[in-house]
Structure 1
Amino acid sequence: MKSGSAQAPFEIRYIWWALGIATFAGFAVGAHVASVIGFGLPLGKLFTTYVQMHGHLQLVGWAGLFIVSISLHFVPRLAGVPLEKPEQIHQILWTLVAGLLLRFVSCSFLPYLTGTSLFKVATAAAVVSGGLEWVGILLYVRLLTKTVLAVRRRGTTSVLQSVRPFFLMMLTGWLLYATLNLFLLMEMMLRQRITLNPGWNELGVHLFLNLVLLPVIFAFSVRLFPLYLRLSAIDWRVDRLAICFLASVLLYLVPKVPVIAALPGKSAENLSHVGLLFRGLVILAFVWKLDLLTRRRPPWTVNRVLEPGPERRPTRPGLPDYGEFGSFEKLVYGAYFWLVLAALLEIAGATTFLLGRAFAVSTDAIRHLYLLGLVTQLILGMAPRMIPGFLKKKRIAFPRLVIVTFWLVNLAVLCRVLPLLLPAPWLAAFPTAAQIASSLFGISGVVAMAAIIVLARNLIATAKATET
């Protein structure tokens, strides 16, 4: 498609596959893992395999497919430059979906096939799944990179320019993660194992969170929240904050590379904690400048808003809509609350580590504050707000269901994270409370699944609805 032609329509099948993979694979496996731990069931030899598979499916299959679909639709419009090859939207979808499904099936059977002739077939299938994902991500990165960079080549101004560093970070992160994932699967096949190398796999998770998820969240927050939530104008240097964020992430992640982390002494670990501290401060600075939770400054419409005439009813207080998308803003506020909490815990943990004092914070708890509290909750909030418009609908089918997802996802976060943050001595002193906390942990995955199912029901009904 040439630059002067029309923009490509939204590909809703990304959303359906993301919801399907999340419900029947990602969150389902996560719910199984959480119940096994929470209710004290035997872990079994497949436990680690399922933990790694759950993480990958959630990153690429749940959050990843949403990111790909929204960015392929939104970024070209933000840049004012149509996709060069819009037909690749479908190629990207099917290669990613085929890779994710093959990964789910092959790795589900791996623990049961050890010692059999089919084990090599299953590990080879896992490598093929990584290859398919790598091809799909490469196509996506190439397609979107041309759009992001086209603004500069054309010499035109665009609202994309201020957040371009975040999008370039995201595209780089996608490529690094896909390449690392493929190499880890190849190593697993060559060594005839049922799990990926734990150190490198952990690095991959951190890489995806810090170079894909957080940058794209910050980019969309800057461009969308002032419009959807009537925040203050973005009159500060977003690109400078993006550079600070990238520097902090590199300072945090590079020392975590296993070959560097294995060096004698604590220099690498200390440097990583300095980066963690720096990154936490940058995150807090971003939230402060965005003015989402504090509302210190007047909205960008302060000099434009007029009293509605008698023929037009007023919108919701402080918001530009009439409630036709539900209380989506509560999920946005909730997501950023968990983001701030995660950053504060990381700052506290990094500071006390560097000072030589013990303040152990569960890394699993913080990871789920990011992935469940922030990422999943933002999807649950922004999907009802954005996708109806992409489908040329004026409202979400069931606005009241949006608040249901708010309560479900935040209950899931509390059940998943609170037991890990409670002090061990306190739990030891109160066995009944410890048992309750463990049971809450066990049901956290099921509660999260319920939130996804409610969202799926709402979006499906919206897609089928006929405008009147």
Structure 2
Amino acid sequence: MTMTQPQTPSSNHAEFHIDFIWVALAAALFLGFAIGAHVASIIGFDFPLGPGFYSFIQVHGHVQLVAWVGLFIISISLHFIPRLAGVPLAHPQRISWILRFITAGLMLRSLGQCVLPYIINSKAAAPVAWLTAASGLLEWLAIVLYTSLLLGAFRRVEGLNKRPGLFQVAPFFLMMLLGWNIYAAINFVLLIQMGLQQTVVVHQAWNEFALQVFLGLVLLPVAFAFSVRMFPLYLRLPAVDWPVRKLAYAYILAFSLQTLPNLPVIASLSSSWPRLLSGLGMLLKGAVILFFVWKLDLLTRRRLPWTVNRVFQPGPERTPTRPGLPDYGEFGSFERLVYSAYFWLVLAAILEILSGSGILFDFSFTHSSDAIRHVYLLGFITLLIFGMAVRMIPGFMHQKKVWSPKLVGATFWLGNLAAISRILPLLLPMAVFD
């Protein structure tokens, strides 16, 4: 089966590569979520941890980031950004190689690091460790190809300010590319170190830093960019007439204040200044996110939708759409997933503000950084993917509806129930479970 897609003759844009979505779903179901459920059951039922427990945690996190979320981001951005820029990809044949490299890398990483704890004292440990390290090289090569495709498209845009849709959100997309490259490089180096030292897990502090980079520079910026460009159209929000770029600059400043002090070489210093700066960054980042949600007007609906000012209004012969929405329900109740995702984002921002305030003013809360991370990843990002995928991908595939709109409604309930079940125990004090 070839993964190379034909190009549309009229525009010369590459067609959407649905294979990314199939790999993302397969990896999430059979690796990411499956390993996560296994780890959660060990903790929940107080089973013995076993030699592979910490390896499983790292594999779970990596697969969820790179496969489940990452492949969605890569496939949709390679389809959407060139069209937003009005510039086709110069080398669309590289898209297939991106998927091949990442798929091979994920397989080597998942199998290698899960098996390694059980053979660490055997002769097979060394080759398995280096095959696991090779996964980092494959994933890094994929990100280099991905970056070259999108940067090539950006460079060929004739006057970025003449493309206002791209100009607004370009800083978010550049953050995304920077975050991908930092994460892939750190991951590769850590896997080489793991092979050299013959250990079964990568360096915990640097791995934690890489996760923070991926969440803060890849996931949140790309979610903000797509929200700005797509939600007014799909959800009939107000026109985006506020300074998105300035908000992006405020976000990167807050993220840098929060994350750079967490570099292991800085965090290990005896001074309290790195921790205080990180706390200030957390507080500011939470405030920037809340301001973004407020200006987007998704949850508050303070302003009239952009459609009230359009020149040509639909005639009376047009079949009425769903109230406040431009569709007829052919994509299911996807908006409920989007709304719930943003409720989780607001919760994450509030937790960031509380955590940052606690660091600055020397008081503590019961929730951990792991709780905030799961609010972002499982509550916000996963539910946002569920909602936006069923709305966007059918159009990318030249389809006018999803197979079963009712399943979209079921996803809303199951997704939020899963998020509550995973996050609530992390937020409650341990005394509740004693």
| TM-score bracket for the superposition, by shorter chain length | over 0.9
Whole-Å separation in 2 of the counterparts to 1:30 and 1:427: 21
Whole-Å separation in 1 of the counterparts to 2:39 and 2:134: 26
Residue 237 in 1 paired to residue 259 in 2?
no
Amino acid at match of 1:267: W
Whole-Å separation in 1 of the counterparts to 2:161 and 2:270: 50
In the other structure, the counterpart of 1:39 is: 45
Superposed CA deviations along residues 41-87 of structure 1, whole A, max 9, x for unmatched, are: 11111111000000000000110000000000000001111001111
Helix, strand or coil at the partner of 1:160? helix
Structure 1 residue 153: Cα displacement: 5.4
In the other structure, the counterpart of 2:167 is: 161
In the other structure, the counterpart of 2:60 is: 54
Helix, strand or coil at the partner of 1:151? coil
Alignment of 1:304-323 (within 5 A): 304=310, 309-323=315-329
Whole-Å separation in 2 of the counterparts to 1:316 and 1:149: 40
Structure 1 residue 144: Cα displacement: 0.7
Structure 1 pair 228–121 and aligned structure 2 pair: CA distance change class (3 A): same
In the other structure, the counterpart of 2:200 is: 194
In the other structure, the counterpart of 2:391 is: 385
Alignment of 1:10-159 (within 5 A): 10-152=16-158, 156-159=162-165
Superposed CA deviations along residues 414-433 of structure 1, whole A, max 9, x for unmatched, are: 100111212233444xxxxx
Alignment of 1:283-302 (within 5 A): 283-302=289-308
Structure 1 residue 308: Cα displacement: 5.3
Task: From 177, 181, 189, give the equivalent of 2:183.
Answer: 177
Whole-Å separation in 2 of the counterparts to 1:271 and 1:193: 33
Residue 410 in 1 paired to residue 405 in 2?
no
Whole-Å separation in 2 of the counterparts to 1:96 and 1:239: 31
Structure 1 residue 152: Cα displacement: 4.8
In the other structure, the counterpart of 2:338 is: 332
Q: Which 4+ residue blocks in structure 1 deviate beyond 6 angstroms? A: none
Q: Bigger CA drift: 310-319 or 374-383? A: 310-319
Structure 1 residue 353: Cα displacement: 2.1
Whole-Å separation in 1 of the counterparts to 2:185 and 2:174: 17
Q: Bigger CA drift: 173-182 or 418-427? A: 418-427
Whole-Å separation in 2 of the counterparts to 1:97 and 1:36: 28
Whole-Å separation in 2 of the counterparts to 1:396 and 1:108: 36
Whole-Å separation in 2 of the counterparts to 1:407 and 1:400: 11
Structure 1 residue 365: Cα displacement: 1.5
In the other structure, the counterpart of 1:227 is: 233
C-alpha contact 1:79 1:158 (8 A) present in aligned 2: no
Whole-Å separation in 1 of the counterparts to 2:405 and 2:213: 35
Normalised by the size of structure 2, how large is the TM-score?
0.96
Structure 1 pair 27–237 and aligned structure 2 pair: CA distance change class (3 A): same
Residue 215 in 1 paired to residue 221 in 2?
yes
Structure 1 residue 157: Cα displacement: 2.8
Alignment length, in residue pairs?
Answer: 427
Superposed CA deviations along residues 301-354 of structure 1, whole A, max 9, x for unmatched, are: 112387754532100000000000000000000101001001101101211221
Amino acid at match of 2:394: P
Q: Bigger CA drift: 188-197 or 101-110? A: 101-110
In the other structure, the counterpart of 2:253 is: 247
C-alpha contact 1:81 1:150 (8 A) present in aligned 2: yes
Structure 1 pair 292–155 and aligned structure 2 pair: CA distance change class (3 A): closer
Residue 256 in 1 paired to residue 246 in 2?
no
In the other structure, the counterpart of 1:362 is: 368
Structure 1 vs Structure 2 CA RMSD: 1.6
Identity %: 55
C-alpha contact 1:127 1:189 (8 A) present in aligned 2: yes
C-alpha contact 1:335 1:374 (8 A) present in aligned 2: yes
Whole-Å separation in 2 of the counterparts to 1:126 and 1:425: 40
C-alpha contact 1:188 1:194 (8 A) present in aligned 2: yes
Whole-Å separation in 2 of the counterparts to 1:240 and 1:67: 23
Superposed CA deviations along residues 102-149 of structure 1, whole A, max 9, x for unmatched, are: 111111211111111110011100111110000001000111112133
C-alpha contact 1:325 1:385 (8 A) present in aligned 2: yes
Unpaired stretches in structure 2, ≥5 consecutive residues: 1-6
Residue 371 in 1 paired to residue 377 in 2?
yes
Amino acid at match of 1:123: A
Structure 1 residue 36: Cα displacement: 0.8
Amino acid at match of 1:221: S
Unpaired stretches in structure 1, ≥5 consecutive residues: 429-468
Task: From 259, 262, 271, give the equivalent of 2:277.
Answer: 271
Whole-Å separation in 2 of the counterparts to 1:51 and 1:259: 24
Whole-Å separation in 2 of the counterparts to 1:309 and 1:146: 42
Whole-Å separation in 1 of the counterparts to 2:146 and 2:105: 14
Helix, strand or coil at the partner of 1:302? helix
Helix, strand or coil at the partner of 2:318? coil
Amino acid at match of 2:367: V
Whole-Å separation in 1 of the counterparts to 2:155 and 2:215: 23
In the other structure, the counterpart of 1:445 is: none
Superposed CA deviations along residues 172-222 of structure 1, whole A, max 9, x for unmatched, are: 000000000000000001111000000000001110000000000000000
Whole-Å separation in 1 of the counterparts to 2:373 and 2:41: 18
Amino acid at match of 1:118: A
C-alpha contact 2:366 2:429 (8 A) present in aligned 1: no
